[in-house]
Amino acid sequence: MAFSTTAYPTKHHFLHSNLATILFFVVLFTIPALFLLRHPTTTTSCSSAADHHPPWSGDLRAADFSWNHLNFTLPPPPNLKLKIAVFSRKWPVATAPGGMERHAFTLHSALAKRGHEVHVFTSPSRDQPFPSSSSSSSSPNVALAVHSHAGEAFKFRFPKAWDLFQHENHRSPFHVVHSESVALPHWKARNVSNLVVTWHGIAYESLQSSIYQALAQRPNDPGPSGLNRSLHGLIDEMRFFHSYAHHVAISDSCGEILRDVYQIPRRRVHVIVNGVDEDSFGPDVQMGREFRSTIGVPPNASLVLGVAGRLVKDKGHPILYDAFSEFMASHRDVYLIVAGSGPWEQRYRELGPRVVVLGSMGPLELRAFYNAIDVFVNPTLRPQGLDLTLMEAMMSGKPVMASRFPSIKGTVVVDDEFGFMFSPNVESLVEALEVVAGEGAERLAERGVACRKYAASMFTATKMALAYERLFLCVKNQTFCIYP
As averages over each run of 10 residues, the pLDDT of the chain (484 residues) reads: 36 40 48 47 40 77 96 74 96 66 92 94 74 42 85 94 98 97 97 97 87 77 65 91 98 96 98 95 97 97 96 95 98 97 96 96 92 98 89 98 95 97 97 97 97 97 96 95 94
Asked if 123 and 148 touch (Cβ cutoff 8 Å), the reply is yes
State the Cα angle at 402 between 325 and 372, rounded to 5°. 70
pLDDT at 127: 61
244 vs 188: CA distance, rounded Å: 9
pLDDT at 6: 34
Task: Write the burial class of residue 161 (CB in 10 Å: 0-12 exposed, 13-18 middle, 19+ buried).
Answer: buried
Query: What are the contacts of 71-78 at 24+ separation with CB within 8 A?
Result: 71/484, 72/466, 72/467, 72/469, 72/470, 73/466, 75/114, 76/469, 76/473
371 vs 81: CA distance, rounded Å: 38
pLDDT in tens, 111-122: 999 999 999 999
Q: Quick check: bond before 97 cis, omega within 30?
A: no
Enter the DSSP assignment of 247: E
Strand partners, 375: 305
Task: Write the burial class of residue 188 (CB in 10 Å: 0-12 exposed, 13-18 middle, 19+ buried).
Answer: middle
Enter the DSSP assignment of 387: -
pLDDT at 53: 56
pLDDT at 10: 42
Asked if 67 and 475 touch (Cβ cutoff 8 Å), the reply is no
108 vs 247: CA distance, rounded Å: 17
Asked if 25 and 32 touch (Cβ cutoff 8 Å), the reply is no
pLDDT at 383: 85
439 vs 219: CA distance, rounded Å: 34
To the nearest 10°, report the CA torsion of 395, 396, 398, 402: -50
337 vs 323: CA distance, rounded Å: 15
Domains belonging to the chain, first-starting first, are: 48-277+461-483 (3.40.50.2000), 285-458 (3.40.50.2000)
pLDDT at 76: 62
